[in-house]
Structure 1
Amino acid sequence: MEILRYVAFSSDPAGGNPAGVVLDATELDDATMQVMAAEVGYSETAFVVPGADGVMGIRYFSPLAEVPFCGHATIATAVAHAHRHGVGSLVLHTKAGEVRVTTSLAEDGSLVASLVSVAPRSVAVSASDLSELLEALRWSADDLDPALPVRAAYAGAWHPVVGAASRERLADLDYDMPVLSDLMRRKDWVTVALVWRERPTVFHVRNPFPPGGVVEDPATGAAAAALGGYLRELELVETPTTLTIHQGADMGRPSTITVSVPRETGSGIRVSGTAVQI
């Protein structure tokens, strides 16, 4: 058994979001996968149980807990699989549902992977939960962008979407990790998607991930898919459209996530990016 290490959503190993990938975890139990993920230390490690005809089971573990779906580890897994077996299509059975992934070669010879999420949706965040969330973030109501209502968004995992009024507000991340972690565990939120809208289809994002033992995620594909579904559901973008999400720059690991939002209500969101082996 081999633990591969890849960076997703960057062509530079010094950027993007690192993920561990185990392409054959057939013999591993839950406890062993959790211990291995903690030892790897990345925000997630993906464990694959290969099947026939490109159909595979996959599970994702952070250093502290299992998560139902992880976008950057999916992109990393698809590229790692393509390095071993060639480009093509995969069907991944995740705890959140079926996720289809394709890999292809870009003109520059790099490998690009695209996943299509499960059906997205969003729900309101109660006034009390919002108050508790802002207190944990050390934000005030004046720090919010009124054009981006705070809602919990889902495309395989739950992420509250919190719009920042300015790039400066987004850049100043100083939250209460134990308090935010406790709130997120109670609400089943995997990360918090803090977003600033530069242009109609260009966003800058930061994702605290304290339930997984990670202060901040440098590229979060699952949250990017959830954001795409949120924007479509609230009619905050004209569809179909393609979003560009910049993440990780504030922590020195710049990442670029491409999100394709189809017009059809309830259809999955496509998330694409490169990945390179560390």
Structure 2
Amino acid sequence: MTDTEVLRYTAFSEDPQGGNPAGVVLDASGLDDAAMLEIAAGLGYSETAFLTGPAGPVWPEEAAPEAGRGFTVRYFSPKAEVPFCGHATVAAAVALAERIGPGELLFTTRAGDVPVSVTAEEGHVRATLTSVVPEVDDISPADLAEALAALDWPEADLDPAFPPRIAYAGARHLVLGAGTRARLADLAYDFARLEALMRRLDLTTVQLVHRAGPAEFHVRDPFPVGGVVEDPATGAAAAAFGAYARELGLVPEDAVLTLHQGADMGRPGVLTVELRAGDPRVRVGGTGVRIP
């Protein structure tokens, strides 16, 4: 394990001081689960991506990636494995593009196959992932009350235009709408209490959202189950939110949404969420750059 190269990239920003940092191990073929968890915990980022390949399973012919561009990916937070992570996917795709060139990639994750398209423009590398098929489910009144108590948010502070739901696009996230930008900015929650609820409901983050315009949102993501207070830019939650917003009719079926995240933490990032009519999957894109 001492010879394992661990790269550091930030996703959803062109500035190494912005976005969400992720670890990337491009060759994890010699690592077992304990070793991957140890690396992720030692690095301390919200997630680290561990790649094996190019090999992976046998894809259907129409979905097979170009030779050498299909990888199996696993994601570990400092505390546990997670089925899918958007920002670490973007980080890994940018790292690969710097070595094998831009183009189409296919990541096989525990949540399913995730195509990633990588482009390079004006010196910046941008990766766009396509989620697995999403789902949106109700949350019980009792569980919602517990979430609000853990957050110390009065129910009156919620935006009634954003009904609380659990949304999935590779991982499960509770979506709550903040009535004001000030409510979103004031985040001080009971870590242990929220973590216990999230573990019981199998949630990865809580996606807190404030609408700034028809297609523009500010978001924050508490992530106690990963061992960190807050995730600075959350691609999986962005995909889940896109599915949520479309299903509830908050945005058109064809839409490009802009999500601002991390500013309240001093790590601003921008996530682009694309919805296409007739395609249930959600595309999430952003730039990435290596952390010196």
Unaligned runs of 5+ in 2: 56-66
SS of residue matched to 1:27: coil
Residue from 83, 92, 112 that aligns with 1:97: 112
User: How far apart are residue 56 of structure 1 and its match?
Assistant: 0.8
Q: How does 1:134-153 map to 2 (within 5 A)?
A: 134-153=148-167
Fraction of identical pairs, as percent: 59
Pairing 1:215–2:229 present: yes
Other-structure match for 1:79: 94
The Cα shift of 1:93 comes to: 0.6
Question: How far apart are the structure 1 equivalents of 2:141 and 2:74?
Answer: 34
8 Å CA contact 1:45, 1:73 repeated in 2: yes
Preserved CA contact (<8 Å) 1:193 1:207: yes
Q: Look up the match of 2:179.
A: 165
Q: Answer yes or no: is 1:31 the counterpart of 2:34.
A: yes
3-state DSSP class of the match of 1:268? strand
Partner of residue 16 from structure 2, selected from 13, 29, 36: 13
Give the secondary-structure state (helix, strand or coil) at the position aligned to 1:131: helix
Q: Tell me how far 1:235 sits from its aligned partner.
A: 1.3
Q: Which runs of 4+ in 1 moved over 3 A?
A: none
SS of 2:49's equivalent in the other structure is strand
Q: Distance in 2 between matches of 1:66 and 1:90?
A: 22
**Would you say 1:192 and 2:194 are equivalent positions?**
no
Task: From 252, 272, 287, give the equivalent of 1:258.
Answer: 272
Q: Distance in 1 between matches of 2:235 and 2:94?
A: 15
Picking from 91, 113, 127, the partner of 2:127 is: 113
Q: Partner residue of 2:61?
A: none
**Counterpart for residue 22 of structure 1:** 25
Q: What's the CA shift for 1:119? A: 0.6
- 8 Å Cα contact 1:121/1:233 also seen in 2: no
Alpha-carbon distance between aligned partners in 2 of 1:62 and 1:262, rounded to the nearest angstrom: 31
- 1:164-195 per-residue CA deviation (whole Å, 9 max, x = no partner) reads 00000000001000000010011000000000
Distance 2:125 2:33 in 1: 31
Shift of 1:121: 1.1
The alignment partner of 2:205 has SS state of coil
Residue 249 of structure 2 corresponds to: 235
- The answer for the alignment partner of 2:288 in structure 1 is 275
Compute the TM-score of the two structures, normalised by the length of structure 1: 0.98
- Aligned CA-pair RMSD: 0.7
> How far 1:102 sits from its partner (Å)?
1.0
Cα distance between partner residues in 1 of 2:277 and 2:146 = 34
SS of the residue corresponding to residue 192 of structure 1 reads strand
Q: Name which of 1, 5, 16 aligns with 1:2.
A: 5
* Deviation (angstroms), 1:5: 0.1
Q: After superposition, give the CA deviation of every residue in 1:32-86 in whole Å (9 maximum; x if it has no partner).
A: 0000000010000000001242111000000001100000000000000001111
Amino acid at match of 1:24: D
* Aligned mates of 1:177, 1:191 — CA distance in 2: 12
| TM-score, normalised by the number of residues in structure 2 | 0.93
Amino acid at match of 1:205: V
Structure 1 residue 143: Cα displacement: 0.7
Corresponding residue SS for 2:244: helix
Secondary structure of residue in 2 paired with 1:139: coil
Q: Distance in 1 between matches of 2:197 and 2:98?
A: 40
Match of 2:60? none
